Structure 1
Amino acid sequence: MTITATAPRAAAYRGRLRWWTELPLIAVIYALYSGARLLVRGDVNDAVEHGADILHFEQLTHLDPERWFNQLFTHHAFLGVPADFAYASLHYVVTPSVLVWLWLRRPTHYRNARTWLMVSTLIGLVGFTVVPTAPPRLLPGAHGFMDTMAQYGSYGWWGTDASAPRGMGHLTNEYAAMPSLHVGWSLWCGIMLFRYGRNWFVRALGVIYPLMTAFVVMGTANHYLMDAAAGVATMGVGFLLAKPALRVVDGLQARVRRRLGTEPVHEAVVAVSVAPGASAAPADKQQAAAPGGAKVPAPRTVSVPPGAPDDPGRDPGAAGGSGAGRGERSRMS
């Protein structure tokens, strides 16, 4: 017979996470994201040429829906204004909110998810550096795109420089269109909501949000369809690299702890074999002494050979004499 006690994994894992280390880490990655967009401006002529090349390729393959969406948002303010608000805000609100939600409700999955997002963001920064790309709204007028952020600027806080607040356009890089991290981050949020949400509404949001973001970035003339596809590919590569990155980080941390002599005592899972006729102490009273006087949590698994008492804490001779209890159980079986 096997007796298994399941520990509260979520509570135990949350104890390993510290907000005072997580917040600075996330802040550093976000600062790199914002700083790289600002510093890596590239040559304007090269950026415009790259944008025109992407649009030309899409036209050759008949995969250029951004012009149709842009005309739709330009001609209908009831679509264009909400799209501009979504582009200017959701990217910076929904992603941190999902991170906090994972921290509070899914702590066992938080670290992998956070690492996936961060690795993908760093890959996106490489794309901004290597391939500076002008969005459709910054192509010459002959291409026919309208900047809806400028058209509906009187409705919101943004100016004519992408989604930057008025007067702060010089603090953003307008030639960081490839890949679209708006689409990449929204895909990450959608997967988290769909996978870990417990009701249909949250899961539906996980499907709707990335699709809506893709339509918005194309309709506002801030990204091409190829930018959106590159954002999805970036998240795919980040997903593949997240676990190896965590293994490297964990290995480095363990090495540093060993050198400093501060390596923690890990929880042990102990298998206890109980011989026939012997009694096993209750699981909550079984503790083993670890080096240095620390105590290891109680064993989680107790293996009892056939023929031993069903109740590990019960004396075999109890319940009516030395053999009566065992004989009665034998007849019942």
Structure 2
Amino acid sequence: MPQTEAPRIEAAPRTRLRWWTELPLIVLVYACYSAGRLLARGDVFSAVDHGVTILRVEKFLHINAEHPLNRLFTSEAWLGVPADFWYASLHYLVTPGLLVWLFRYRAVHYRAARTWLMTSTFMGLIGFTLLPTCPPRLLSAGHGFVDTMAQYSSYGWWGGEASAPRGLGGMTNQYAAMPSLHVGWALWCGVVLWRYGRTPAAKAAGVVYPLFTTIVVMGTANHYFLDAVAGAAVMGVGLLLAPLVMRCADRVRAWFEAWFRERFQGRFGVRVPSGSAASSGAGSSIVSAGCQTSTGERIPRQRDARFGPGAEPGASPTDAGEGTPAAAR
């Protein structure tokens, strides 16, 4: 008879992520990012020099699209006002919303996407620290830019200092233009919508959202075109580094679990669940460390207390005394 192929044993799944661990993690990362962005203000004169240098490079390469877009948004309020609302709100709504959507409906892709976003965000923080850059709107009037956020501030909640609410402009770093994480986060959202969205509308939004965000950050004079390019580049490098970051996180977690087990499990009887099949017993038919057999498992010549010494566990009571004197039966 042909031999049937043994069923394939799948590896035990990774520990499922829980919202009560994910939410504090995301809040902590964003708090660190905001605090670091605030502390890395740098020298104002250096930031202005960097901004002017970027503008000169763009003019030399004929890629300074900020000027015509800014003039258009300044002269046409029906374009400038929605652009300011786009800049001041969607950056803080769409990205968290997509993280929640991934967590609930595309959980298998959530960890990789979250790690990619966080890795790129920390890289952007390094850019703010090493290269403080003055945005176009804060350059002197001779450079030809108008701050649309200040011009249309009566329509929204922001004041004349970036997109911060009125009176809170001093709590932001206005010289963190390079790279543009408005564009970087929008690109992340676009990739997520394109790859994991199942409707044509979702895929179309994945193209439109990062494209319009790039236009908005330049038209409102908050970023240069090269800022947008740098934001996209940071996301690209973050995408390449995300698998390495996840592997390192897994190793750190495994080391911590082993250390905790060694220090506390034997001393206090605390059990630490492990993700491996050997330690949890999932998907394994071998006898565990506690010498307990699984359901239906037999050890050859095992004694059964019901029938006395030498009885097989599968024997019936009438067979228990086979081979013994009749009187005993």
Tell me the TM-score range normalised by the shorter chain: 0.7 to 0.9
Q: Structure 1's 196 and 170: CA in aligned 2 closer, same or farther, altered over 3 A?
A: same
TM value normalised by structure 1: 0.78
Which residue in the other structure is 1:171 paired with?
171
Matches within 5 A, 1:26-37: 26-37=26-37
Deviations 1:170-207 (A, max 9, x none): 10010000000000000001000100011111111111
2:127 is matched with which residue?
Answer: 127
Kindly indicate whether the alpha-carbon contact (under 8 Å) linking 2:277 and 2:284 is maintained by their aligned counterparts in 1.
Answer: no
Equivalent position of 1:214 in the other structure: 214
Structure 1 residues 118-267: aligned runs within 5 Å: 118-261=118-261, 262=272, 264-267=274-277
Contact in 2 for aligned 1:127/1:179 (Cα 8 Å): yes
What is the Cα deviation at residue 291 of structure 1? 3.6
Structure 2 residue aligned with 1:109: 109
Structure 1 unaligned residues grouped into runs of 5+: 269-284, 297-333
CA distance in 2, matches of 1:167, 1:34: 17
Is the Cα contact below 8 Å between 1:149 and 1:162 reproduced in 2? Answer: yes
Deviations along 1:269-328, one digit per CA (max 9) or x if unpaired, are xxxxxxxxxxxxxxxx996654447999xxxxxxxxxxxxxxxxxxxxxxxxxxxxxxxx
What is the TM-score of this pair, normalised by structure 2?
0.79
2:48·2:139 contact (CA, 8 Å) conserved in 1? Answer: yes
Q: Structure 1 residues 69, 253: CA separation in 2 closer, same or farther (over 3 Å shift)? A: same
Partners of 1:67 and 1:227 in 2: how far apart? 15
Q: Which residue of 1 aligns with 2:63?
A: 63
Q: Percent identity?
A: 57
Q: Distance in 1 between matches of 2:6 and 2:169?
A: 64
Counterpart residue identity of residue 105, structure 1: Y
CA drift at 1:223: 0.1
Pair 288,169 (structure 1): closer, same or farther in 2 beyond 3 Å: same
How far apart in 1 are the matches of 2:53 and 2:291? 68
Whole-Å separation in 2 of the counterparts to 1:294 and 1:164: 63
Query: 1:254 touches 1:263 (CA, 8 Å); kept in 2?
Result: no
Aligned match of 1:313: none
Q: How far 1:20 moved relative to its partner? A: 1.7
Structure 1 residues 68 and 19: alpha-carbon distance in aligned structure 2, compared to 1, 3 A threshold? same
Quick one: which amino acid aligns to residue 72 of structure 2? L
In angstroms, what is the RMSD of aligned CA positions?
2.3
Q: Which amino acid aligns with 1:149?
A: M
Change (3 A) 1:292 1:244: farther
Tell me, which stretches of 5 or more residues in structure 2 are unaligned?
Answer: 262-271, 295-329
Alignment partners' CA distance in 2, 1:294 and 1:131: 62
Following TM superposition, by how much is the alpha carbon of 1:33 offset from its aligned partner in structure 2, in angstroms? Answer: 1.7
Cα distance, 1:191–1:4 mapped onto 2, change above 3 Å: farther
Q: Secondary structure at the match of 1:124?
A: helix
CA distance in 2, matches of 1:237, 1:154: 39
For 2:316, the equivalent position in structure 1 comes to: none
User: Residues 62 and 293 from structure 1, CA distance in 2 versus in 1: closer, same or farther, beyond 3 angstroms?
Assistant: farther
C-alpha deviations, 1:103-143, integer Å up to 9, x for none? 01111111111011001000000000000000000011101
